Amino acid sequence: MPAPVDPQLLRELTPRVLGVLVRRGADFATAEDAVQEALLRAWRRWPDDGTPDDPEAWLVTVAWRCFVDAARSEGARRRREEQVATIPEPGPVAAGDDTLLLHFLCAHPALSPTSAVALTLRAVGGLTTREVAAAYLVPEATMAQRISRAKRTVAEAGLDGPRELATVLRVLYLVFNEGYSGEVDLAAEAIRLTRQLARLTDEPEVHGLLALMLLHHARRASRTRPDGALVPLAEQDRGRWDTAMVAEGVALLQSALARDRLGEYQAQAAIAALHADAPSAEETDWVQVVEWYDELLALTDSPVVRLNRAVAVGEADGAPAGLAALAEVDPSLPRHDAVAAYLHERAGDLAAAARLYTAAARAATSTAERDHLTRQAARLHPHS
């Protein structure tokens, strides 16, 4: 009985199958190609043959065979160059932390962030090169090269490198922030991968990042108008927030915070949770928001955090206090003028606000932000 292949199942299995091959001693680059080949065969065969009883074992067997074939032909080539190729003996199928190993390998510190993102989406996320290319709006050939260079870097670095959760989380955060740019929903993909990671490790920061993503994702429907225009937090229709997702995010955050090992993602999630909890912008507990920004600053000392803190101070203690906080922030930051414009408008200086919104629109880094800031400038511009 023909049945459609479940793409989620294949994506879930991708890092596990690759992890098995790598753990058996297969070199990373060849193994990753072999897994992609096995996935393609699954797409072709399973609709007619039916999904195997043990799909993971099926994929491991087929991928291993592909790997051995590739290693043999590579070996033959190398022998002609008088070198010896080794095909490792298939060892036991290892336990569930193969997926974790894959997360670490694909976020290897030797990779640039862009390469780590591409490799993670393919080798851990199980996306095709075409899908990753479409998500980042580059030609498929370019993305194929980017991924294959990244694989070589990882293969050369070997399995014994540093295993830093921070870089893994950074990669997932970058994927989430790219949002939704066409046929692949990167935000949803980032959540899926972070969920997967959260099942494998009980590090509070992993759960903090997942909570942060869910709390932001819950607002997605209200964040843009049907024509794509940005809607600022204060003007969002809070009735459209996904309450179930908010509840899940809050619960995750609370149990992470209870572990008493604060990190930047937990602190960011705490701020997002305070917003999610408020019935309106005015009723937000801005004093607590500022306190969380202080925590976040202590953890990161990031200029962007300092900038966002100035907005919160403006809400908690009034626009003049916000402007005083802003005076300590590097004015060359991309969103500095946008924040200054907002605070000046709140302080009643509409002329300065209009001028700053205009400058902010010119410094925007996305068309959605530029258009939003242009509208703000136009709103304050004196019209005859």
Partner 1 sequence: MKYLLLKHYRGGPERVVDHGPLEEWRPEEVDAHVGYMRDFARRLEESGEFVGEQALAPGGTFVRYDGEGRPPVTDGPFAETKDLIAGWMMIDVEDEARAHALAAELSAAPGPGGEPLHEWLEVRPVYGAAPTVAD
What's the closest the beta carbon of residue 282 comes to partner 1, in angstroms?
15
Q: How far is CA 19 from CA 56, 60, 172, in A?
A: 12, 10, 19
Q: What is the Cα–Cα distance from 74 to 70, expressed in whole angstroms? A: 6
Reading the block at residue 65, the tokens are 């065979």
Q: Does 369 bind partner 1 (CB under 8 A)?
A: yes
Residues in the chain: 384
Pick the stretch among 60-68, 145-153, 159-167, 294-302 that binds partner 1 (CB under 8 A).
145-153
Pick the stretch among 13-21, 27-35, 133-141, 248-256 that binds partner 1 (CB under 8 A).
133-141
Among 99, 194, 268, 358, indicate the residue that binds partner 1 (CB under 8 A). 268
| Beta bridge partners of residue 185, listed in sequence order | 180
Reading the block at residue 356, the tokens are 């700053």
Q: What is the Cα–Cα distance from 50 to 4, expressed in whole angstroms? A: 8
Q: Does 139 bind partner 1 (CB under 8 A)?
A: yes
Q: Which residues contact 320 (CB under 8 A, 6 or more apart)?
A: 347
Q: Which residues contact 352 (CB under 8 A, 6 or more apart)?
A: 341, 344
Among 73, 177, 254, 255, indicate the residue that binds partner 1 (CB under 8 A). 177
Q: What is the Cα–Cα distance from 284 to 316, expressed in whole angstroms? A: 9
Q: Does 114 bind partner 1 (CB under 8 A)?
A: yes
Q: What's the CA dihedral at 112, 116, 118, 123 to 10 degrees?
A: 150
Neighbours of 141 (CB within 10 A): 10
Pick the stretch among 30-38, 48-56, 86-94, 362-370 that binds partner 1 (CB under 8 A).
362-370
Site for partner 1 in 286-315 (CB under 8 A): 308
What's the closest the beta carbon of residue 203 comes to partner 1, in angstroms?
20
Among 122, 207, 216, 306, indicate the residue that binds partner 1 (CB under 8 A). 216
Question: For the window 321-350, what string marks contact with partner 1 as x by the rule CB under 8 A?
Answer: --------------x---------------
Collapsing DSSP states into helix, strand and coil, what is residue 4? coil
What's the closest the beta carbon of residue 52 comes to partner 1, in angstroms?
35
Among 28, 104, 136, 357, indicate the residue that binds partner 1 (CB under 8 A). 136
What's the closest the beta carbon of residue 112 comes to partner 1, in angstroms?
5
Question: For the window 64-103, what string marks contact with partner 1 as x by the rule CB under 8 A?
Answer: ----------------------------------------
Among 138, 157, 159, 278, indicate the residue that binds partner 1 (CB under 8 A). 138
Pick the stretch among 53-61, 200-208, 210-218, 354-362 that binds partner 1 (CB under 8 A).
210-218
| Beta bridge partners of residue 230, listed in sequence order | 224
Reading the block at residue 115, the tokens are 């390469």
Q: What is the Cα–Cα distance from 76 to 80, expressed in whole angstroms? A: 6
Q: Does 142 bind partner 1 (CB under 8 A)?
A: yes
Phi-psi region of 241 (alpha: psi -120 to 50; beta: other; left: phi over 0): beta
Q: What is the Cα–Cα distance from 126 to 309, expressed in whole angstroms? A: 38
Task: Of 56, 52, 72, give the one whose Cα is nearest residue 21.
Answer: 56
Collapsing DSSP states into helix, strand and coil, what is residue 44? helix
Pick the stretch among 22-30, 88-96, 140-148, 349-357 that binds partner 1 (CB under 8 A).
140-148
Q: Does 247 bind partner 1 (CB under 8 A)?
A: no
Among 366, 378, 379, 381, indicate the residue that binds partner 1 (CB under 8 A). 366
Reading the block at residue 377, the tokens are 């400038």
Positions touching partner 1 (CB under 8 A) are 112-115, 118, 136-139, 141-147, 149, 173, 176-179, 181, 187, 212, 216-217, 220, 230, 232-233, 268, 275, 308, 335, 364-370
